[in-house]
Structure 1
Amino acid sequence: MRLPGTRYQEHGWEQVRKLLGSCSLQAFRQMDMHLLLDSAQHEALLDAYVDTLAARLRAGERLARAEAAGNSYGDSVCELALSLAFELHAHPTFWHAFVATLVAEHARAGAFWSDPAAEAALRKKVNDMYAGLRDKVDADNYMVATGRDCTPNKIYTYRMLDTAWHALAQLFEDGASHRERLAVILDCAPGTMPPEFRHLKIGACQAEWIIRWSETQEHYTGAPGPLHTRSKRFSSLKNNPARIAAMLAEIGDYEELSSNQDSADPWREDAGEAASWLEDYWRVMDASEAQEAAGGAAAMSDQILPAPEMDDSESSCEAEPADEEPAPAVHDAAEVATALAAEQSIAAALSLPPRYLEMARAAQDTASWTLRVLHGTTLPIRLAVYHTLLGPEDDSYPDAWLDAATGELPTLQQLAALDGISMPTLRKRRNEAIARLHAAHTGAA
């Protein structure tokens, strides 16, 4: 959802939230949390928390999740997380409310922040603090941008209506499967929904449709819609379609006004290609300088580096050495640059960050038991093992292993492509690796 002045209401918020949560847990481990019990220390703790959190965020700003787009205005996930963390100084009431919940929990369960099993509860409290701060900051910026009054609750209401519209739009997209419900929502005969409804924009949505959608939620999904829960938060809206219509129209008008940043103009594609070319260029130059410093100047003089080529044949990819930990096994700067460029091309073609494999390798725990047992297998195979045993999303995964778009490990299809092998081969090697882990665990036991 876009509104004037807001920055935290779009698709990237989920990644901002996760980044703030994980880095906050790291910051708390570096702080003396028992000082929370002394009210005189709360302001000093706020300063220490923000400084430590900012340092943790900056330390990981080149990871895939941190570099991902946080909104449609060009802010990265890391930039949004940093700016929101600094907003705690301007709005310390959110920090004090957060501290109060920790003190209350301490009175019930003791120093729970020292218990690894309580990390999920601590992360939830951090998420609640930043969710409230996000809406406060966006509400203030909305008022500056428009000159109209706005509260955090109103921002929350805008977001609810935007979410409701997108849920309704999904029903429109699959109208054949939801004919009866759409007939109730649109107040028409079943099966008479015009085709143009599938491409309807939010500004053209009628308030009555949102009200009837909410009213039918419980019957079709088992959970009441936002306008029909016992909560009083939105109860006034279901009797005020004019207000709903005005808010929907405002969301639609601003999205239409700002939609130019979503256009796929040719110059945008050229800009992306130019950025990738420059990145490759500087990497090749760095590799050349390193080679010269190592005494290979004669070998590198007047050498033209070949353009990266991708070999789609599985046999040639499988002929590479299996253990790829430091970097592709090549012998001079030209081959390093070519291999890295090819690797980045594959990652980019899979909608992953170009340096995904580099960063994922660097994030491995070299002392881990799993890595020792699976020594000799490629990184994509090991990630496929984790994908199968732990699932695509787990808090133990380093951020560099995750696809920034989903917050999960790449799919098995993506991992197969990264390894240059087919899906059947990936499954075979993954199953062999899992069998090795089971055998090693059984032998150790």
Structure 2
Amino acid sequence: MRKLLGAASLAAFARCDPLDLLDPVPGDMSLALYVDVLTEALHAMRSSPRAQAAGNSYGDSNAELAWLLACELAARPADWEAFRNAIASEHARAPAFWRQPGGEALLRKKVNDMFAVLRDKVDADNYQAACGRPCSPNRIYAYRMLDTAYGEIARLFSGWREHGAQVGAILGRPVEASVPIEVRQLQSIAACRPEWIMRWSETLERFTGSAGPLHTRSKRFDSLKNNPVKIGEMLAEIGEYEALSGNRDGDWLHDQESAGAWLEDYWRVLGESEQGSAPGPDLILEAGEEELDAFSPAQPDEAPSEDEPLDAARAHSVSLPPGFVRMARAAEDAGSWSARLLAGESLPVRLAVYLKLMGSMDDSYPDAWRDPATGALPTMAQLAALDDVSLPTLRKRRDAAIASLYAAHEREDE
């Protein structure tokens, strides 16, 4: 992903001179310009092997992750200002340094530094949202190092015959002809032992020529050096976070029938009340004018929007029809109980709610909601791109919307 963002940024700067970023204009104007040309460059590279390669263990490609990080940058002007200041400082020492020999590599490094810092901040926010524990970008960096170490240990263990000497050094005993029991036991990072991390770092200089992260003069990981207890705690926390993140979009399967049943029941009851003399749920009767406006089907989100070309571009970027957002809005039953309750949410959030509660292939979904390629609702990654937010941000908004549905359900039962 880092290399993809770097390449896309250089392509963007071929169209947008970095000097334009240094002009005395509001930072948000230059940020909007950069994000526009960057996302266009990412879109042009979307079919490349680097873009299609897996970017994480959850199935997201480098292209998807790079797109989401670009969207996050658009919402974090402080990081953009730090980048502009770095470019300005280098420009003061060597005017238009990006046009000089080796300058392109330096410009790319500045871009990589910006996105590295941004990625740590985003991951820290996501970790806090998922686990409810405080987390700093520096701690995320340590988590990432441990996760990388685990990945390398798992790779060595899977090829234990070819890497017998290093695997033996990591285990602290010679490797025999049979498969070491630890190789079969290492199924996740939660099963990785702290002493393996420490020995892996220790063996790197012998087997690769470069010192391991826990065996350099750098003070970045001082708190982990010779501290197996803390390493073990952090490995367990990474395992917990991976379990939470990996299961968030599949947990609807456990209660699909019950969740779908109460939604269907509410639609039926509301329909009957609207056809009779009853005015509808007490929730609406007791609401003030502002709350009634929130339940009104005539929301700005449903009106023709000046952003429709942008919506079309986002839809196209995730392989959905360019008119997907407009057609999906038109196909929604604005008079249904759930649609009125969720009217204040964006269309991607509303579809994400249905995706979690009722699954991706429910018979009640209009054809306009479905991805033509799969016949199902768009994935969470597609919906996040449509909403121009990160996947964890969409999850938080979806879960908050579901919580409001359940709260309304409980009020109705009282």
TM-score range, shorter chain: 0.5 to 0.7
Q: 1:96 Cα deviation (Å)?
A: 2.0
Indicate whether 1:87 and 2:72 are aligned.
yes
Indicate whether 1:142 and 2:104 are aligned.
no
CA distance in 2, matches of 1:47, 1:100: 17
| Aligned residues: CA RMSD | 3.2
Q: Deviations over 1:83-114 (max 9, x none)?
A: 21122233223222222222222223221233
Question: Structure 1 residues 193, 184: CA separation in 2 closer, same or farther (over 3 Å shift)?
Answer: farther
Q: Deviations over 1:251-274 (max 9, x none)?
A: 33555677789x9xxxxxxxxxxx
Indicate whether 1:203 and 2:190 are aligned.
yes
Question: Structure 1 residues 33, 214: CA separation in 2 closer, same or farther (over 3 Å shift)?
Answer: closer
CA distance in 1, matches of 2:162, 2:54: 34
CA distance in 1, matches of 2:114, 2:177: 46
Question: Which of structure 1's runs of 4+ aligned residues deviate more than 6 A?
Answer: 257-261
Q: Deviations over 1:244-293 (max 9, x none)?
A: 112222333555677789x9xxxxxxxxxxxxxxxxxxxxxxxxxxxxxx
Question: Structure 1 residues 203, 28: CA separation in 2 closer, same or farther (over 3 Å shift)?
Answer: same
Contact 1:69 1:75 (C-alpha < 8 Å) held by counterparts: yes
Q: 1:190 Cα deviation (Å)?
A: 5.9
One-letter code aligned to 1:95: W
Match of 1:110 among 88, 95, 115: 95
Q: 1:137 Cα deviation (Å)?
A: 0.7
CA distance in 1, matches of 2:113, 2:48: 25
SS at structure 2 position matched to 1:228: coil
Identity %: 56
CA distance in 2, matches of 1:187, 1:173: 17
- Write out aligned runs for 1:90-239 (5 A): 90-115=75-100, 117-176=102-161, 178-188=163-173, 191=176, 195-199=180-184, 200-201=186-187, 202-239=189-226
Contact 1:61 1:67 (C-alpha < 8 Å) held by counterparts: yes
Instruction: Give TM-score, length-normalised by structure 2.
Output: 0.52
Match of 1:247 among 234, 247, 253: 234
SS at structure 1 position matched to 2:10: helix
Q: 1:220 Cα deviation (Å)?
A: 3.0
Instruction: Give TM-score, length-normalised by structure 1.
Output: 0.49
One-letter code aligned to 2:150: W
SS at structure 2 position matched to 1:55: helix
Count, aligned residues = 248
- Write out aligned runs for 1:2-401 (5 A): 16-61=1-46, 65-66=50-51, 69-73=54-58, 75-115=60-100, 117-176=102-161, 178-188=163-173, 191=176, 195-199=180-184, 200-201=186-187, 202-255=189-242
Question: Structure 1 residues 77, 228: CA separation in 2 closer, same or farther (over 3 Å shift)?
Answer: closer
Contact 1:176 1:191 (C-alpha < 8 Å) held by counterparts: no
Question: Structure 1 residues 144, 110: CA separation in 2 closer, same or farther (over 3 Å shift)?
Answer: same
Question: Structure 1 residues 26, 239: CA separation in 2 closer, same or farther (over 3 Å shift)?
Answer: same
CA distance in 1, matches of 2:110, 2:195: 36
Contact 2:8 2:41 (C-alpha < 8 Å) held by counterparts: yes
One-letter code aligned to 1:20: L
Contact 2:146 2:235 (C-alpha < 8 Å) held by counterparts: yes
Question: Structure 1 residues 81, 217: CA separation in 2 closer, same or farther (over 3 Å shift)?
Answer: closer
Contact 2:131 2:241 (C-alpha < 8 Å) held by counterparts: no
Q: 1:130 Cα deviation (Å)?
A: 0.8
Q: Deviations over 1:186-221 (max 9, x none)?
A: 333564986222232332222112112212322332
CA distance in 1, matches of 2:233, 2:16: 47
Q: Deviations over 1:52-78 (max 9, x none)?
A: 222333455455654555445454433
